[in-house]
Structure 1
Amino acid sequence: MPTFDKTKFDDQSEKELLNEWVKSFPSKNTKLMFELYQEMEKMETPEAKVYKAIDSLEALIQHNLSDLSKWTEKEKTFNLTYADARVEFSDFLKELRREIKKDTIIKLDEQRY
């Protein structure tokens, strides 16, 4: 499910599937995994912020690697704007985001020629 098409229903469905998956772990790991996912959801710790930023940046990188002929106009805008706020806490991640955006711009410019 593309990030820009997700609804609250999709988010809830993902959460339910994640909970079912984590419940299938050996019991000694289940509690720890639930705690880690709750930490990620709250986005309060540096680790959670890095996790979310990298998860978002990875989606952009995958998009840049995909066939541009399959991109919608919505996706073109998405790749130029998504995750900007998620990297604001880190100079390194802001620079990585700028480089990913440069790759997007190059890809979009290639389509014009």
Structure 2
Amino acid sequence: MDHDTLLTFLGVAEKLKCNTRHSWTSSGRHESVAEHVYRLLVFAWLVRDEFPELDMNRVMELALFHDMGEAVTGDIPAFEKTGEDEKTEEEAQEEIARLLPRPRQEEMRDIFREVREKKTPEARLVNAMDKLEALIQHNEADLSTWLPLEYELQLTYGEKETRDIPWMAALRERVNQDSVKKMRTEKLKEDLTGGRL
């Protein structure tokens, strides 16, 4: 790969550091897309022994590039994303793939397609982990950062994606317990102080 192509592609990837997600960090700032991608890779590395039947290197590749289109489009929260937004992101992915020489261009298109179609076990695992990472991040953020709709969403988001992956379904239940505990603790604080915290 020539230097100019490398630097151009890295320049696009840098936008993932700049574009923020709806989620907040435990320190009270918006999370960047790059931070979400990084932790998704850590997540994949940590669970690799739980899925010996899967190609975990492929899982990590899919996780690495699953939100690459957001370097161009920015992040749109799942509860606001439309079919038109998904089409725009797909077009951005094609634009990004075209930056690369062959055969990397086709390789990148294959990654984007596999993530989008969610037909392989590896892509379904990445999709499940993607949802769970967002739930975990919400639990780590201050409850004041949650929108009213997120109280219910926190308990339902990712159910469909984890349902057929027993280990992930069990983890989702554990994350659910943390969500309920967080909400109860906050409600108790409000009750004790009359909402004057």
Please, what TM-score do these two structures have when normalized by structure 1?
Answer: 0.89
Residue aligning to 1:49 = 124
Q: Determine if contact 2:97/2:109 at 8 Å carries over to the other structure.
A: yes
1:108 Cα deviation after fit: 0.7
1:62-77 equivalences under 5 Å are 62-77=137-152
- Per mean C-alpha deviation after superposition, the further-off stretch among 56-65 and 24-33 is 24-33
1:9 shift after superposition: 2.1
Q: Is the 8 A contact 2:114 2:120 kept in 1?
A: yes
* CA RMSD, Structure 1 to Structure 2 (Å): 1.4
CA deviations on 1:1-31 (whole Å, 9 max, x unpaired) are 2111111222222222222222223433110
- Identity %, equivalent residues: 33
Q: 5+ unaligned residues in a row in structure 1: which ranges?
A: none
Partner of 1:35: 110
The answer on 1:79 being equivalent to 2:154 is: yes
Match of 2:163, as an amino acid?
E
Deviates more, 1:27-36 or 1:17-26: 17-26
Counterpart secondary structure, 1:3:
coil
- Rounded Cα–Cα distance in structure 2 between residues aligned with 1:91 and 1:24: 39
Structure number with higher helix proportion: 1
Query: Partner letter of residue 129 of structure 2?
Result: I
Deviations 1:74-100 (A, max 9, x none): 111111001101111111001110111
TM-score by length of 2: 0.54
Aligned equivalents of 1:21 and 1:109: distance in 2? 44
Q: Which residue of 2 aligns with 1:93?
A: 168
- More divergent stretch after superposition (95-104 vs 37-46): 37-46
3-state DSSP of counterpart to 2:161: helix
* Aligned residues of 2:128 and 2:161 also touching (Cα < 8 A): yes
Q: Does 1:109 align with 2:179?
A: no
What secondary structure, in the 3-state scheme, does the structure 2 residue paired with 1:89 have? Answer: coil
Question: Which one-letter code corresponds to 2:95 in the other structure?
Answer: E
Q: Measure, in 2, the Cα distance between the counterparts of 1:18 and 1:61.
A: 27
Q: How many residues align?
A: 113
Q: Which has the larger radius of gyration?
A: 2
- Distance across 2 between alignment mates of 1:67 and 1:24: 39
**Closer/same/farther in 2, CA of residues 84 and 35 from structure 1, 3 Å limit:** same
The change in CA–CA distance for 1:107 and 1:26 in structure 2 (over 3 A counts) is: farther
Select the structure that is richer in strand.
2
